Amino acid sequence: MEQLGQFILNHLGLVSALIIILILIFINEFISQKKKAKELTPAGVVKLMNHDDAVVIDSRDAETFASGHIINAIRASGDEFTKERIKKYKQKPIVLVCARGLQSPALAIKLREQGFENVAVLSGGMNAWQTANLPTVKGK
């Protein structure tokens, strides 16, 4: 223990730099976690839809959407997230869905920057939904 104290005294600049770097890492991690949308399991999405009247927005292309999507889901491409079509849902909980859950988090950040507060993503996307054997509808 005495050697540690001596090391700290001899290398005060290095120890100070280490502490500052660690603090900056924690701050950066905190900010990124705060921006990150809540990830929901398929069962969590069902619960949110049933109890909180959540709006499901599917960002997949029209053809894939038509081949099977969550009941009452709205299809919107990434470009449409800045238009009035989406803004009317600002006060409702929103669940973003994509094919595998890889694109939705970026769209969630985009919506949060526009003032949407209650935005979540379906973890694993439609693949997770279908794996959980939950119902889908075909067509528009």
Tens of pLDDT, residues 22-31: 999 999 988 8
The domain made up of 38-131 is a member of CATH 3.40.250.10: yes
Domain boundaries, the chain: 2-33, 38-131
* pTM (two decimals): 0.74
Name residues whose C-beta falls within 8 Å of residue 25's C-beta, 6 or more positions apart in sequence: none
User: HSE (CB half, 13 Å, CA atoms) of 6?
Assistant: 3
Mean pLDDT of 10-28: 93
Convert the pLDDT of each residue in 30-87 to its tens digit: 887 776 778 999 999 999 999 999 999 999 998 999 999 999 999 987 777 666 777 7
